[in-house]
């Protein structure tokens, strides 16, 4: 009986941990030394669990590509694959965007990307080559004009539509250069239609279990997890997320890509636990 209780308790704890979270694959950039890091993130607790070594050529955006592989876009303009078990990054091919590469997303089986001029491209997941579709009409990255000005941009899919967010800010004055806006993008033309104003500093967005989570970067306070309303761009605070390599440090570590962890693996492990419990019960009855 004691052994059976232990098995039931273990199964209950595993089931609870499998349903907790949500936990997602994520990639961050450390702006102290401009390196990247792959790992998992608990969107409720805000904790980040690194997997693998630092990434010398930081990657932005994280999507599930063909055959379940994770894809991302490097600062140098490569299409990369990420091994979710080890965090190892492999170059698939050169996009042709060079250091003008922006962010990427998957929509209806096609991978799309932007550049710093906010042109819109489709990306060949076999070769990495990017093909121009058109201009989004969104503002260009202000760093192309002034080195003290930067932008935040996301590209993501939710509810059968393709969305983007964009803003620009001056790092020396913290003045807005481009007001933060949520857009819906026409994948056939690349044209972005404004939906509504949104939070400043969004670095990654993903819809998980019915909630649209937005990871927000702050220059003056804690980095936060928000929920995003796709109808009007409004956001609601959920919790803070780990953003510094040391307690109380500057917000150096910013999440710039998230992707949902496939569910079947968790369900399969739960099934194994249930099967073990049933087998144990059968042995006990026949003993």
Instruction: State pLDDT tens for residues 168-199.
Output: 999 899 899 999 999 999 999 999 999 999 99
- Residues of 157-166 as b/e, b for ≥16 C-beta within 10 angstroms? beeeebbbbb
Residue 13 has pLDDT above 50, yes or no: no
What is the per-residue pLDDT across 100-123, written as a single tens digit (0 to 9) for each?
999 999 999 999 999 999 999 999
Mean pLDDT to the nearest integer, 22-51 = 90
Q: CA-CA-CA-CA torsion for 201, 140, 70, 271, nearest 10 degrees?
A: 40
- Between these two residues, 253 and 10, which has the higher pLDDT value? 253
Let me know how long the chain is. 287
**DSSP code per residue over 49-108:** EE-SSPBSS-EEEEEE-GGG-EEEEETTSEEEEE-TTT--EEEEEE-S-GGGEEEEEEET
- What's this model's pTM, rounded to 2 decimal places? 0.84
Q: Which fold has domain 22-262?
A: Neuraminidase (2.120.10)
């Amino acid at each position: 009986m004691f052994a059976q209780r232990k098995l039931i308790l273990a199964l209950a704890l595993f089931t609870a941990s499998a349903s907790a979270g949500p936990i997602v694959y994520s990639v961050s950039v450390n702006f102290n030394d401009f390196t990247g890091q792959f790992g998992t993130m608990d969107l409720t607790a805000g904790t980040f669990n690194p997997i693998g070594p630092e990434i010398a050529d930081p990657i932005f955006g994280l999507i599930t590509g063909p055959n379940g592989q994770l894809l991302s876009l490097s600062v140098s303009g490569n299409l990369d694959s990420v091994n979710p078990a080890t965090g190892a990054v492999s170059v698939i091919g050169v996009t042709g965007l060079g250091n003008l590469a922006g962010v990427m997303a998957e929509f209806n089986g096609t991978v799309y990307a932007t550049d710093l001029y906010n042109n819109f491209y489709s990306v060949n997941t076999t070769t990495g080559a990017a093909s121009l579709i058109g201009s989004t009409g969104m503002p260009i990255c202000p760093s192309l004009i002034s080195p003290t000005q930067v932008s935040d941009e996301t590209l993501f899919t939710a509810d059968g539509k393709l969305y983007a967010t964009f803003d620009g800010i001056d790092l020396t004055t913290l003045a807005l250069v481009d007001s933060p806006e949520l857009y819906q993008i026409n994948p056939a033309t690349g044209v972005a239609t404004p939906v509504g104003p949104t939070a400043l500093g969004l670095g990654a967005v993903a819809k998980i279990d019915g909630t649209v989570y937005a990871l927000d970067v702050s220059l003056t306070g804690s980095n936060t997890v928000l929920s995003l309303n796709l109808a009007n761009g409004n956001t609601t605070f959920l919790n803070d997320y780990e953003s510094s390599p040391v307690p109380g440090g500057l917000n150096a570590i910013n999440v710039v890509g998230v992707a949902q962890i496939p569910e079947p693996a968790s369900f399969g492990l739960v099934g194994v636990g249930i099967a073990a419990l049933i087998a144990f019960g059968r042995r006990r009855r026949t003993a």
